C-alpha cells in the first residue's frame, strides 16, 4: 500500500469516528433537553409525554394531598390553569400565590406529572420565563427585575 492510500484510509477512519461521536452527542442531548412552557402554551408547544418545564403561579386554594401522598395543585399564567400532580417532598419555600417551575411530562386530558418542583429562593426572585409570560399577559405584579 502506498503512503497516500494509507493517509486516505486514516482520514476516512477519523472522519467516520467523528461522525459517530457527533451523532451520539446530538441524540443524547435531544433526549435530555427540557423546554420551558407557560400554562397557556402547554397544549400548543409541548409534545404529549415529552419532558418540559411548566412555570407559573400556584393558584390560591388548590393545594391538596391525595391519599397516596401525592400533592395536587394548579399553576396559572393568568390566562390558563393547569393541574399538576407531584409525588415527593415540596421545597420549603413552596406556597400558594408563589412562582414555581415544575419539571415533568404532560398528556392531554390528564394532570401535568411533575418529577421535580422548584420554588423561588427569596421575596423578589421569579424565574425569567415565568415573569416574561406574565408580562406578556399583563399579569405581572412584581416590582423586581427577573
CATH number at residue 111: 2.40.50.140
Domain extent for 9: 1-33
| 25/97 same-domain check | no
Residues 87 and 129 in one domain: yes
* Domain contains 60: yes
As beta bridge partners, residue 35 has 52
Whether this model's pTM surpasses 0.75: no
Q: How many residues does the chain have?
A: 146
- 44, 108: one domain: yes
Give me the number of domains the chain comprises: 2
Chain segment 17-74, per-residue pLDDT in tens: 999 999 988 887 766 666 788 888 887 777 787 888 888 889 999 999 988 889 999 9
How far apart CA 46 and CA 108 sit, in angstroms, is 10
Shared domain check, 50 and 109: yes
Q: Which CA distances in Å does 37 have to 54, 86, 117, 131, 134?
A: 5, 18, 14, 12, 12
Give the whole-angstrom CA distance, residue 103 versus residue 124: 22
Closest CA to 113 of 70, 59, 144, 142: 70
Residues 64 and 110 in one domain: yes
Give yes or no for a contact between 24 and 78, defined as CB atoms under 8 angstroms apart: no
> Is the distance from CB of 114 to CB of 91 less than 8 angstroms?
no
For 99-146, the pLDDT digits (tens) are 889 999 888 888 899 999 988 655 555 667 777 777 777 766 655 444
Residues 75 and 39 in one domain: yes
Task: Based on the fold, state whether residues 71 and 27 are members of the same structural domain.
Answer: no
Residue 121 shares a structural domain with residue 60: yes
Residue 5 lies in a domain: yes
Amino acid at each position: 500500500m502506498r503512503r497516500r492510500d494509507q493517509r486516505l484510509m486514516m482520514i476516512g477512519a477519523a472522519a467516520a469516528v467523528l461522525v459517530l461521536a457527533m451523532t451520539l452527542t446530538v441524540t443524547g442531548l435531544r433526549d435530555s433537553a427540557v423546554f420551558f412552557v407557560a400554562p397557556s402554551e402547554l397544549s400548543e408547544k409541548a409534545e404529549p409525554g415529552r419532558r418540559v418545564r411548566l412555570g407559573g403561579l400556584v393558584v390560591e386554594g388548590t393545594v391538596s394531598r391525595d391519599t397516596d401522598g401525592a400533592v395536587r395543585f394548579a399553576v396559572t399564567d393568568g390566562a390558563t390553569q393547569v393541574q399538576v400532580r407531584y409525588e415527593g417532598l415540596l421545597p420549603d419555600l413552596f406556597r400558594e400565590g408563589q412562582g414555581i417551575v415544575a419539571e415533568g411530562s404532560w398528556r392531554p386530558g390528564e394532570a401535568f406529572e411533575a418529577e421535580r418542583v422548584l420554588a423561588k429562593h427569596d421575596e423578589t426572585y421569579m424565574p425569567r420565563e415565568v415573569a416574561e409570560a406574565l408580562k406578556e399577559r399583563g399579569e405581572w405584579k412584581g416590582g423586581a427585575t427577573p
